Amino acid sequence: MLDLIKIAPSILSADFGILAEEIRGIANDADMIHIDVMDGSFVPNITLGQPVVRRIRQATDLPFDVHLMIVNPEEHIDSFADAGADAITVHAEASRHLHRTLEGIRQRGVRAGVALNPATPVCAIEHVLHMVDMVLVMTVNPGFGGQSMIVEALNKVEAIAALARRNGLSFDIEVDGGINDETIGAAARAGANVFVAGSYVFGAENPREAIGVLRAAAIAAAESSQRTQQMI
């Protein structure tokens, strides 16, 4: 578990005027770059599209974790894969044919992820857990960065981790929303191993140091959780 801890800075909180420079500045410390794609329909904000992904692909070799917060995501899988996505995550709430959409992502040779909004129950994705590389649990209502974590959403992380163990499945559990040095421990103890952090990283005086703080806190919490489980 500890060697699987990953920090994924979200460029939603970066300075878009110097985006490539912002990405290069954390390239040696982050594990992947989280890219939030919003269409103003599924969520009340509009961010970026394939041309930006294609352009910043030139700035780093880090994996691109593309999170599609858009309606009809199945129509855009190919274009984001072509632009340089290494992982594509779609929302259970937005995909009319979730199984087919995930199959389409896998056929493109990129990692397939499924996301849940805070109000969506885990049962909405149980039927596709066997075919995903990652489950993304939103711990804020999607659309804007800088929000406080909805702590109750971590109950879903625990439930998903339990389902994975019970069914012998292996996938990353990613948490997105309100991640900082005070909240990442609870997310790690719940069972998450990938942590999306936007404003905490890019709003820091030293983003590289901020990533290190997050990683250390997540590892400490995961180690503590492992010791507790071994004692039970």
Query: Which residues form the catalytic set?
Result: 36, 176
The answer to whether residues 132 and 34 touch, using CB atoms and an 8 Å cutoff, is no
How many angstroms separate the CA atoms of 202 and 211, rounded? 10
Q: Can you list the alpha helix ranges (DSSP code H) found in the chain?
A: 19-26, 50-56, 77-83, 98-107, 154-167, 184-190, 199-202, 207-231
Structure tokens at 118: 């805070």
Residues near 131 by beta carbon (within 8 Å), at least 6 away in sequence: 99, 102, 103, 106, 112
